[in-house]
Amino acid sequence: IGAKQVFPGPYLDPESLLDDFVKEGVTWTAGVPTIWLGILQLLDAHPGKWDLSHMKGMLVGGSAAPRAMIAGFEERHDLVVCHGWGMTETSPVASMAALPGELASADDDTKFDYIAMQGFPLALVELRARDESGHEIPHDGETMGELEVRGPWVASAYYESPDEAGRWTDDGWFKTGDIVSFDPHGHIQIKDRSKDVIKSGGEWISSVELENALMAHPAVAEAAVIAIPDEKWQERPLAAVVLKDGAAATAGELREFLAPQFAKWWLPDRFEFVGEIPKTAVGKFRKTALREQFAQQPAVTTP
């Protein structure tokens, strides 16, 4: 049993990828959310231009996929998104979103809530999360902690790098650096990277949740949220926003859009409208560049 493997080459823009999908008859494909956001926007702008009826599914990973993006593909284009989590050290997939059997007849909103999580661990893989005090977090869907993983194909050390031994706990769990919560069913939801989570007044704010909510706004193409220094609260969120072509939105409108979804203290203090958000070679947001641009200013005082 074999399969054709298609490499897109140097052209990773949405139109080139869609042309490849059609020309090569691609049935399964994988990529990071920023790649799929661009593809969804192009499909929405040109309905019917690309026949993707042969495509069985799209694996999305590398960072948390926006719920609105997953719903958009399935509702408007009948394309199934498989949402997973993993990293190089887990070889590479360690969990996959799955709908609990008892929710098979649930409404679409509930189903998409679960598909937008990172799901259950794969067979033989164990997951847990601990808070800053080292205690395992409760499965309440709210409490956040750093995700740890172990399993037969999870790395147990870095080759000839004894200085990295601290990435593993004494009982053999790998510290992923991802901040997560567990829901009562045991699904994990990625909240942030430990280096990107915003620590404000002793509480944690998930930049990923704010980003995904902003990207559900009809005028927003992309959004990245970073921490900026604050004299009173230590850190506060700043949102860098790229608007869709021809769309308009103000900071006040975006803050009002977010308000029903989050506690008031989660809402970004600043919105910066930019032409593009810097990305890594694989398409992830390069937040270090945003911090260099916006967060190096002197600390501000927030009321």
Residue 1: per-residue pLDDT:
75
Residue 297: per-residue pLDDT:
65
Domain spans in the chain, listed from the N-terminal domain onward: 198-295
- Read off the pLDDT of each residue in 259-279 and give the average, rounded to a whole number: 97
pLDDT band at 123 (very low <50, low <70, confident <90, very high): very high
pLDDT tens by residue, 167-225: 999 999 999 999 999 999 899 999 999 999 999 999 999 999 999 999 999 999 999 99
Is 90 exceeded by the pLDDT of residue 248? yes
Residue 30: per-residue pLDDT:
94
pLDDT tens by residue, 15-37: 999 999 999 999 999 999 999 99
pLDDT tens by residue, 142-174: 999 999 999 999 999 999 999 999 999 999 999
Is 80 exceeded by the pLDDT of residue 240? yes
**CATH architecture label of 198-295:** 2-Layer Sandwich (3.30)
SS3 string, the chain, reads CCCCCCCCCCCCCHHHHHHHHHHHCCCEEEECHHHHHHHHHHHHHCCCCCCCCCCCEEEECCCCCCHHHHHHHHHHHCCCEEEEEECHHHCCEEEECCCCHHHCCCCHHHHHHHHCCCEEECCCCEEEEECCCCCECCCCCCCCEEEEEECCCCCCCCCCCHHHHHHECCCCCEEEEEEEEECCCCCEEEEEECCCCEEECCEEECHHHHHHHHCCCCCEEEEEEEEEEECCCEEEEEEEEEECCCCCCCHHHHHHHHHHHCCHHHCCCEEEECCCCCECCCCCECHHHHHHHHHCCCCECCC
pTM of the model: 0.86
- Read off the pLDDT of each residue in 262-290 and give the average, rounded to a whole number: 95
pLDDT band at 2 (very low <50, low <70, confident <90, very high): confident
